Amino acid sequence: MKRHIIYVFLGLLCCLISTQRVDAQRFIGSVIAGTNFSQIEGDDVHGFYKVGFNGGLGLTIPLNRKQTWQVSFELLYSMKGSKKSCAAGYFDTIYYSPAMFMDVDRSVPFDPTTKCNISLDYVQIPLMVRYEEMYSGCTFALGFAWGRLVRAHEVYNGFTRTTNVRSGTYKRNDWSVIADVNIRLYKNLSLNIRYEYSMVPTRLAYYEYMRTDGSSVIETHKYYNHLISTRLVYYINEKFYKNTRVNKYGQTMGTTWLREIPEYNE
């Protein structure tokens, strides 16, 4: 599996440094770096409090001469998960006995200030269809992504669990649906805002809750990765020119910089 990921990475890298034309079009390479704000639906922890890295390489292929329609794929390292602290009173209402977790790491002491800290790192390959409005510089995209779990660590209700990639606690493959928007900031540099949600559960978890009468109830929870990403995207082999379009008041219409498309004559 690691060998396959290396091959994909090398293939993307070769495309990034290539400016070869194909059918009057060209590959558009990009370097991506940003931040995930994530949570896990189903773990009783709410809020996008888990902060992690999201970055890698991208490749975009125009589908028409005007380059308004594009297909793109990326090779990313994406850090997901869930995190939140809570007051000690929280543990009066939820069952947190070590007997509930058979995979608790006994060498790590209980931490009453930590409610949840789940770290799930993926090597991810998103495939997207994009539409670019050339005069505004905005690009809208929809697609899906396959991710391979490469690191897993979990602290839940103060107990450190022995969760790892090979423990089978979390599924190794994560399939997600993605929507994002690119906003051109300056020539080759764009701001990307991305929304992502898992299409299938990454894990089934069983929770035991204590009732006021002393009895307990067990519930099955399905975990889904849920995140918002903000990233900077730098396009390597693209050229831009100054936008000279103005309205009747003499104000610039649309983005300051327009993509140079030699093959397209408006």
Q: What is the pTM of this model?
A: 0.81
Residues (pLDDT < 50) of the chain are 4-5, 7-8, 16, 19-24, 87-96, 265
Multiple choice CATH, 2-239, 2.40.160.20, 3.40.640.10, 1.25.50.10, 3.30.2130.10? 2.40.160.20
State residue 184's pLDDT score.
92
State residue 188's pLDDT score.
92
As a 3-state breakdown, the chain gives helix, strand, coil percent values, each rounded to 5, of 10, 55, 35
CA distances from 229 to 51, 55, 142, 188 (A): 10, 10, 14, 20
| Distance of alpha carbon 80 from the chain centroid | 7
Domain ranges of the chain: 2-239
Task: Tell me what percent of the residues of the chain surpass a pLDDT of 70.
Answer: 77
Give pLDDT tens digits for 174-190.
Answer: 999 999 999 999 989 99
Q: Between vectors from CA 67 to CA 183 and to CA 54, what angle results, nearest 5°?
A: 40
- 3-class SS of residue 13: helix
- 3-class SS of residue 10: helix
Q: CA 94, CA 96: separation in Å to the nearest integer?
A: 6
State residue 14's pLDDT score.
58
Per-chain mean pLDDT for the chain:
81
